[in-house]
Amino acid sequence: MTTLRALIALSCCLGVLACARAPAAAAPEPSAEAAPALMPIEAVSADATAPEARPDTAAEQLLGVAAEDPAVERLFDGAPPEESLFADGARYLGSKARGVELLIERGRISTVFLHGQGHQGYTDYAGAMPGGVAFGDSPDRARALLGEPDAQGARWDKWYRPTWSVHLEYGDSGGVILVTLMTAESDPHR
């Protein structure tokens, strides 16, 4: 697991550098058949008991949920996600068309990656994001919505919550391009 956590940390801190070099795809025209936003999920991680710890979006509510939970199927809207397996048993589930990836460790979702248009070949994640943050938001706007970050870098901000963390990466234009949600246990910097 230590190697996997190091990879997550590297992805969170440096991933934007590699992705920034990839040409951004043109945004698709909206259509009536666009994927619907995620529906709220009833299940919340057992350790999220304090009101400030309770996630407020469907993506955040996935943290700690079992990989077989029906919410995961709803997230991918019934389409089979791409899957990658690791030697230690961890796996990724992702959909470029839905703009989302999940890291599953010990059978539970430990990390949720929400991608913006063109980031690593993904389309925009269409669901709600923490605190009302949106792709393209400036660091100042994100900080106005989420408060002062607990950690910062040249192109990222991070906030620690009691049972989870949110990490924002900013692209070449300075706007949010990737939102990473992690359980406290899976965050390599806590």
Q: Residue-wise over 12-30: b if at least 16 C-beta within 10 A, else e?
A: bbebbeebbeeebeeeeee
Between the alpha carbon of residue 4 and those of residues 7, 38, 63, 75, 84, the distances in Å are 5, 28, 17, 24, 13
Task: Locate the domains of the chain by residue range.
Answer: 2-19+50-63+111-183
User: What pLDDT was estimated at residue 189?
Assistant: 84
Spatial separation of the C-alpha atoms in residues 119 and 112, rounded to whole Å:
15
Pairing of strands 164-170, 176-183: antiparallel
Rounded to the nearest 5 degrees, what angle is found at the Cα of 161, between the Cα atoms of 114 and 167?
Answer: 30
Burial of 35 (0-12, 13-18, 19+ CB in 10 A): middle
Backbone angles phi, psi at 6, to 5 degrees: -65, -40
Both tokens of 166, joined, read: 């949110």
Place of tokens 């029906």: 70
For residue 69, give every residue at least 6 positions away whose Cβ sits within 8 Å of its Cβ, in sequence order, or none. 41, 43, 62
Tens-of-pLDDT digits for all 190 residues of the chain? 444 444 444 344 333 333 332 333 333 333 333 333 333 323 333 333 333 444 557 888 999 999 999 989 888 887 789 999 988 889 999 999 999 999 999 999 999 999 999 999 999 999 999 999 999 999 999 999 999 999 999 999 999 999 999 999 999 999 999 999 999 999 988 8
Task: Encode 115-141 in three state secondary structure.
Answer: ECCCHHHCCCCCCCCHHHCCCCCCHHH
Q: What is the pLDDT of residues 114-139, one digit of tens each?
A: 999 999 999 999 999 999 999 999 99
pLDDT tens digits, one per residue of 31-60: 333 333 333 323 333 333 333 444 557 888
pLDDT of the residue at 56: 59
